[in-house]
Amino acid sequence: MAVIQMKPKLTLGPIAYHWSAEKRRDFYARIADEAPVDEVYLGEVICSKRAPFHEGDLPETIARLNRAGKTVIVSTLAEVMLKRERKATEDLAAMDMPEIEVNNAAGLYARGQKPHRIGPFMNAYNEATIAWMARQGATHVCLPTELPAEAIAVAASAARDLRLGVEVQVFGRASLAVSARCYHARAHRRTKDNCQFVCEHDSDGMPLRTTDDRAILRVNGIQTQSESYIDLLPEMGRLAADGVSHLRLMPQDVDMVGVADVFRNVLDGTLCTDEADRHLAGLCGAVTLSNGFYHGTAGYRRMAVTART
Amino acid sequence: MTLAELICPAGTPAALRTAVDAGADAVYCGFQDATNARNFPGLNFTPEELGDAVAYAHAKGAKVLLALNTYPPAGKVDLWRHAADLGVRLGVDAFIVADMGVADYIARTHPQARLHLSVQAAASSPEAIRYYCENFGVRRVVLPRILTIPEIRQIRTEIPCEIETFIFGNHGLMVEGRCSLTNYLTGQSTNMNGVCSPASDVEYARHEDGSMSSQLAGFTIDRFGPDEKAGYPTICKGRYTTSNRAESYYAFEEPISLNLSRLLPDLIDAGVHAFKIEGRQRSKSYVRNVVRAFRQAVDDIRNGRAANIADLVALTEGQKQTQGAFETKKWR
Amino acid sequence: MSLRIEAANSARWPGNLLASRLACGVLQPILTRIVRRIAARHPSLFARLGPYQTADFVIDPIDLPFAMHLRPDPDRLLFRAVPRDAAPRADAVIRGRFMLLLELIDSQEDGDAAFFSRDLDVTGDTEAVVRLRNALDDVDTSIAEDTAAMFGAPGRAVLARLRRGYGADMEKD
C-alpha cells in the first residue's frame, strides 16, 4: 500500500437531484463539518424550475463551506434555452466570486475571457479543445465521464502543460443524457410546465427496468443517469500518475461523508483498495458499482483492476 | 422569403446521386470512420468516392456538405484534422462540425472553408450560437429539434448566421452531442465513435406468440406484439417499467418520426434558411421518395401555391409521425 | 451465432419437399449466373461487406417453396436455392415475401420501413444484414432488371408478371 504521490484534491460535485431545501441545508452542514473534501460545487445544473427552491440558501451555504476551509464553485445549467435559463446563466457569469463552472456554451459566451472552470457537460474531449478553452480563460476542466483511461492521460497531460486543473468523476451515477423533455413528468403523465415537481420523490433518481426486469437507468427530470454508481477507487493511483488533479464525488442519497472518508483514506494510504472497495459497497447498499467507461468498455461493467496502488 | 434550401442525406455514392437527381440543393455525407455521427457498417464514402460525388453534385448545381460532427477523444484528433484537410482538397462546400477543437483547427488552417454548426453541438440559445459564430466564423447553425416555431423566429433575430432545421426523419429525443446511452450498454460511444445502437450489438428474437424483442448488448430494449409496428433498437425508444408504471411504457419517446411538411410555410416565414432531412442510414428508396416530395412542396410554397405533401407515413419509424416540439411546448 | 430456419416455417410446405428439391436443382445454374454477373459488374459491393464476405446469409422468401443461401465471398461466390429443411446454419436470416425481397435488393423499397411495418424479419447477426443492405443499396442499376435481361424477352416478361402478381396480391390484403 503506497501513498499516492502528487495527491489530487477531492471534490464534491453539484447535487443533481431535486432535494428539498431542508435536506440540502442538512447535507451541506454535514459536508462542511465532517467530509474530507477540498472543494464543493453548488448550484442547479439540471432543471431551471428547481432553482428557486434553494438558491436563496446559496450565500449562507457558501459562507458555511468557506468557514470550514473548503473552496466553493458555482455550476451553471447544462441546458440553456428558455429566457429564465439564459438570464440565470448570464447572472452567474457576471459574478467575480466565487469561481464558476460553465456547463453550456451560452455560459462561455457570457463569461468572455474572465477565468472560469469547464464543466463535464462542455464536451472537453481532447487536447485541441482544451487548448482552445484555455486561450479563452478556462482555468480548470472536468473531463466527460465516458472518456477512457488512455484519452484521460493525454488530455490531463495537455491540460497540466497549460496549467489547468483536470478533474475526473470517480464516484456516483454517470450523466448519460439530457433532454428538453422531462421524463419524470412524462412518467406521471404530466408535461414539463405542469410537472408539480414529482422529481422530489426520487432523491436518488427514478429507476427504469427493462421488460425482463433488469435495472438499467435512472431518470432525474430532463437527465438520464446510469443505474450503477461509477467507482474509480482502485484507479485513483493511475489517475493521479496521469496528471489528474481533482477527483469528483457526485452526491448520491447515501452516507456521502462515509464515501468521502473512504476515498480520502485511500488517497492518504491509510486504507488499502480491497478493504476500501468492500467498505464502499457497504455504504452503497444494493446499488451496483461500475468502471466500464474508464476501461474503454460498456459503462455499466465492473472490470477487475490488476495493478492496484 | 429565404431560399429554403433542401439538405438531403446520403450514406452511399448511389444515394448521393439519387438525392441530387431528386432535387436536393445540398447533400450531406461522411467518411468511413469515426469522424461522423453515422459511422455505421457498410455506410459512407471513401476519399475517392467523395471526390467523384462532389464532381457529380457540382455538375448538377448541388452542394456537398461533409459531416465532421463527432468529438475526437484526446490522442486521436489527427484523424479529424486529416479528414478536414481531405475535404478541402476534394472541394466540399462546407463542413458540419461540433467539437470546438475541430472548429478551431478548420477556422485557422482553412479560413476560406465554410463552417456549419452541427446539431451535435446542441446550441439552443442565441448566446451559444453567437459563441460559435464569433469565435469560429460559423455561417449556419443546425438547430436542435426542441424549439417551437416562435422560439426559432426569436432566435433568428438575435444571431448573425443562417438557420437550418430538421423537417423529416428520426426524432431525436436527447440533446445531441450529450448522449452516452449507447456507450453505457455497448462500450461504443456516440460522441467519440459516431455510433448509436451499433448493429454489432443488436439482436432480434422472435417468440412463439409471434412477438419480437429487440436487444442491445443483451438488454431488452422493446418487445413488439405480433401486429405492432416496430422501431429502431435505440435505448431512448425503448419500453421500461418504473415505480408507478408496472406496465412497461415508452419512458422517453415511442418509435415515431418527425414530419414537418405541414409547417414548411411557417418555418420559411420564421426565417429558416435550410431544411434538413435526416437519414444517412436509410436506403436510396427513402432518399428518392422523401427528397422528391419535399422538393415539390418547397417549390410550391416558393411559387405561392399550397403545398401538396405526399403521404410520407409509410417511411416513418413505427409508421407514426409527429411535429414534436415545433408545434407545441407541451411536447416537453 | 448460427441459426436454423425454424421448423414452423418449413412445415408451411407439407408434401412439397420433392417439388422443392426439383425446383432447387433446376434453379441452380441460373442463380449462379445471376450472382456472378452482379459480382462482375459491381465489384465495389464487396468492400462494403467488409469482414462479412464469408458470412452465410439465408434469404427466406416465405411465399416460395425454398430458401436461398448466399455467401458473398468474391473468391468463392455462393448463391444457391435450398429446401427449407436442408438450409445450412446461417449467420443471419432475412425473411419476407419474395417480391418485397426483390424490391429491397433493387432499392424500390426501403428496408427500414419494411422492418418497421414487420413485413421484413431479420434474425441473427444484425451487422451482417446491415452491411449487405448497404452494399446492395450502393448499386445504381436495377439488379432485378439486369437479371431479367440476361434471359432476354422471356426474362423481362417473367419479371413484369411477378410485379403485376404482387400488386394484385397487395390489393387483396
pLDDT in tens, C12-68: 544 566 777 877 887 888 888 888 888 888 888 899 999 999 999 999 999 998 999
pLDDT at B308 over 80: no
| Cell numbers that stand for B105 in this block | 483547427
| Nearest residue on chain B to A110, alpha-carbon basis | B127
CB spacing of B174 vs A177 below 8 angstroms: yes
The tally of domains found in chain C comes to 1
Mean pLDDT of B196-201: 95
Domain boundaries defined on chain A: 9-170+231-285
Cell 438558491 sits on residue: A55
Closest chain B residue by Cα to residue A156: B74
Q: Do B127 and A210 touch (CB under 8 A)?
A: no
Q: Does position C151 have pLDDT exceeding 80, yes or no?
A: no
| Average pLDDT of the segment spanning C119-131 | 94
Say how far apart CA A87 and CA A93 lie, in whole Å. 10
End-to-end Cα separation, chain B, in angstroms: 30
Tell me the pLDDT band of A308, cut-offs 50, 70 and 90: very low
Grid cell digits, residue B13? 455514392
Return mean pLDDT, chain A. Answer: 95
Is pLDDT larger for residue B298 or for residue C6? Answer: B298
pTM higher than 0.90:
yes
131-150 of B, contacting A, C-beta below 8 A: 131-132, 134-135, 144, 146-147
pLDDT of residue C170: 43
Helix (H, G, I), strand (E, B) or coil at B320: coil
Tell me the three cell numbers of residue C66. Answer: 425454398
User: Which chain C positions have a beta carbon within 8 Å of B41's beta carbon?
Assistant: 50, 127, 130-131, 134
- Give me the count of residues in chain C: 173
Residues A158, A238: contact at Cβ < 8 Å? no
pLDDT range class, residue A306, cuts 50, 70, 90: low
Q: Which residues of B touch A78 (CB under 8 A)?
A: 178
Q: CATH classification of A9-170+231-285, choosing from 3.20.20.60, 3.40.190.10, 3.40.1350.10, 3.40.50.300? A: 3.20.20.60
Only one residue has cell 422523401, namely B290
| Structural domain contains residue C149 | no
Kindly determine whether residue A104 and residue B191, on different chains, have CB atoms separated by under 8 Å: no
b/e map of A101-139 (b: 16 or more CB within 10 Å)?
bbbbbbbbbbbeeeebbbbbbbbbbbbbbbbbbbebebe
The predicted pLDDT at position B167 comes to: 94
Give the CA distances from residue A278 to residues A231, A237, A257, A281, A308, in Å, rounded to whole numbers and listed in that order.
12, 18, 16, 5, 15
Q: Does C115 touch chain B (CB under 8 A)?
A: yes
CATH value at residue C15 = 3.30.1050.10
The answer to whether A146 contacts B180, with C-beta atoms less than 8 Å apart, is yes
Give me chain C's average pLDDT, please.
82
- Beta-bridge mates of residue C93: C58, C123
The verdict on a CB contact (< 8 Å) between C117 and B229 is yes
pLDDT of the residue at C172: 39
Three-state DSSP at B217 gives coil
Whether residue C165 is predicted with pLDDT greater than 70 in this model: the reply is no
The kind and range of the H/E element at B91 are none
- Indicate the pairing of strand A215-220 with strand A206-209: antiparallel
Over 60: is that where the pLDDT of C2 sits? no
Chains B, C: CB contacts under 8 A, how many? 102
Instruction: Flag whether C158 is in a domain.
Output: no
Q: Which residues, including other chains, have CB under 8 Å from residue A149's CB and lie 6 or more apart? A: A235, A238, A242, A294, A295, A296
A200 CB within 8 Å of a chain B CB: no
Q: What whole-number percentage of chain A has pLDDT above 90? A: 94
B128 membership: H or E segment, kind and range: helix B126-136
Q: Which domain holds residue C113?
A: 3-141
